[in-house]
Structure 1
Amino acid sequence: NFNSSEEQKILEKFVDEKVDLIFAFPTEAATAAKTYTQRTNIPVIFAQSMIEGNNLVENVRQPGGNITGVRDPGPDITVKRLEIFHELAPQVKRVYIPYDLNFPAIPPVLKVLRPTASSLGIKLVELSAKSITDIQADLESRNSSDDIGIDAIMTLGQPLTSLPDVFMVLSEFAAEHHIPIGGIIQNNSENNIFVYESKFSEIGSLAAPLADKIFRGIPAGTIPVVTPEAYLMINYELAKELGLEVSERLLSRANEIIR
């Protein structure tokens, strides 16, 4: 998780040392790096950072100031996740999404996700949580009811549900109740029915040429922001165990299929 005081110390050190470039990710670290370097000539490259709902860049083509980078297509990719879920499991009508509302990427994601869900006939069962304890308490409450109130779990791109312990709690609940879980890449992604996410390796590959341009004298603020392609993994074996039919059309779009 993002540690504001620790990040501040690191950035102050970088500025004092007049480093040649700062590479910052995710969104909070990137916005902090921009703030701390505003009165310097130190260029900043961000990665896996949201540019919606903040002042990280002026626009995609001309980010402005001393900054450019690889954006996190959070809202776009989250909408696609829900559409994939709907295609994989059209019978799913109640999708559980736990999130930390204090994470800056979440409000713009929810803004586009809610109307998409409505158009698909899906009810988002939202849980605003700050820790694993909040999620455990909510799931325990659902366990004590005759109807758990959800048909599937979708994870969003945020530190909270990226934590291995949190994902374990969610995936164990999903397995216990024979419901699908999918969304972001995890260390044990075999428990996901699907993953739709930008891969870290591609993000790094896109960031490297930006650094090269800066070191060749091109101002960071004039270098367009780039967007990574999304990676689709479908767990065909798990889908079959859950009694789901995976269309050939969806399988043909997958970068990886677990059989």
Structure 2
Amino acid sequence: MWRILQIVSLSLFLILSSTGCEFSSPKLKIYTVGIVSIDDNFNPFVENFKTGMAKAGYVEGKTIHYLYDGPIKKEQLADRLVFLKNQHLDLLFTLSTPVSQKAKEVFADTKVPILFCPVYDPVTSGLVDSLTNPGGNITGVMVGGSLGKALGYLLDVLPGLKTIFVPFPQKDSSARANVGDLKTAAAKYGIRIVPGQIDNRQDLASLMENIPADADAVWLPNSPLIVSNASMIIQAAMKRGLPVSSTTSKAQDGALLSYGVAPQKIGIQLSALADKLLKGVPASQLPVERAEYILAVNLQTAQRLGINVQESLLKQADIIIR
């Protein structure tokens, strides 16, 4: 009997070998994630997203592959998205409102889920139907909703504040929404907002040479154009002896105050959402999340401008630049 079993087993092995069959362990699924950015300032979001994915068990080069060679020029955006559309993506990660809007348009006829960040107001910008029920194939992390608190911090430092100058790109829907919300928040305190409309960096440079004489401070709205030129804006304001406040993390560049997002924390939020999307949860079933914020105070700037920052505010700060 044993001899018969040996003969049968050998025969079966020879048959399988002759047909080219091999015995191997199941292959691991390798996910392909496209990433699109048009601004170097978003690099920390990309790195922290990857870090979060690694902590979630996705090993780059083994179980996940990122199609990303760094930020591209804005005029290359459409072509890059079309290219990625043909790469059989499992997920598309888009950075900024303009990139996310274009991605939604290009990928409208696909089932590829889109994960966005940092977007100021995904509803106003037309990315989602609502924060709780995004609809379609897109969701992500928003960075709006902190203006009231950020303005309150600035008033703690400058109680006599009356006028804030706000440069912003008029074609950027996120920046327009930011300015509108700032006006609403400022009206409660009797503060006047003076917008300065621009279209490009050249406009911005010219505008900052002509800051209104009655401005008491300068505000940086959420916009790729503003964020990428924050240092220039801050330097121009400092020449006029004006403090700069922001809801982007720019205290390290010389802004007096910033109440902005923490890239490390957003990385965790984004990777958790990405994990669910890659496991098949529809984007329409994942509510848009709000980013966590950190308060940063630049005491070097305060000293240069002769501004006293109360100890009570410093105790609330997550970061103090001395």
Please state which band the TM-score falls in when normalised by the shorter chain: 0.7 to 0.9
1:203 aligns to 2:254 (yes or no): no
Q: Give, as a single letter, the amino acid of the residue that structure 1 aligns with 2:193.
A: L
Q: Distance in 1 between matches of 2:129 and 2:179?
A: 22
Aligned with residue 246 of structure 1, among 309, 314, 317: 309
Q: Distance in 1 between matches of 2:129 and 2:253?
A: 39
SS at match of 2:284: helix
Structure 1 residues 247 and 9 mapped into 2: Cα distance closer, same or farther (>3 Å)?
same
Q: Distance in 1 between matches of 2:206 and 2:110?
A: 47
Q: Distance in 2 between matches of 1:41 and 1:139?
A: 44
Q: TM-score, normalised by structure 1?
A: 0.87
Q: Give, as a single letter, the amino acid of the residue that structure 2 aligns with 1:245.
A: N
1:8 aligns to 2:82 (yes or no): no
Contact 1:69 1:225 in 2 (8 A): yes
Contact 2:179 2:221 in 1 (8 A): no
Q: Which residue of 2 aligns with 1:68?
A: 139
Structure 1 residues 137 and 7 mapped into 2: Cα distance closer, same or farther (>3 Å)?
closer
Q: Distance in 1 between matches of 2:321 and 2:161?
A: 22
Q: TM-score, normalised by structure 2?
A: 0.71
Q: Which residue of 2 aligns with 1:151?
A: 216
Q: Give, as a single letter, the amino acid of the residue that structure 2 aligns with 1:149.
A: D
Q: Which runs of structure 1 show a deviation greater than 6 angstroms over 4 or more consecutive aligned residues?
A: none
Q: Which residue of 2 aligns with 1:40?
A: 110
Query: Percent identity, aligned pairs only?
Result: 26
Q: Distance in 2 between matches of 1:227 and 1:32?
A: 22
SS at match of 1:208: helix
Unmatched 5+ stretches in structure 2: 1-37, 40-72
Q: Distance in 2 between matches of 1:44 and 1:172?
A: 37
C-alpha displacement at 1:45, in angstroms?
0.9
1:17 aligns to 2:81 (yes or no): no
Unmatched 5+ stretches in structure 1: none
Tell me the alpha carbon deviations over residues 10-66 of structure 1, each in whole angstroms, 9 at most, x when there is no partner.
221122222111111111111222222222121111111231313211222221221
Q: Which residue of 2 aligns with 1:111?
A: 180
Contact 2:164 2:215 in 1 (8 A): yes
Q: Distance in 1 between matches of 2:91 and 2:232?
A: 39
Point out the structure with max Rg over C-alpha. Answer: 2
Tell me the alpha carbon deviations over residues 137-164 of structure 1, each in whole angstroms, 9 at most, x when there is no partner.
334345xxxx82312111111122212x
Q: CA RMSD in A?
A: 2.2
Q: Which residue of 1 aligns with 2:146?
A: 77
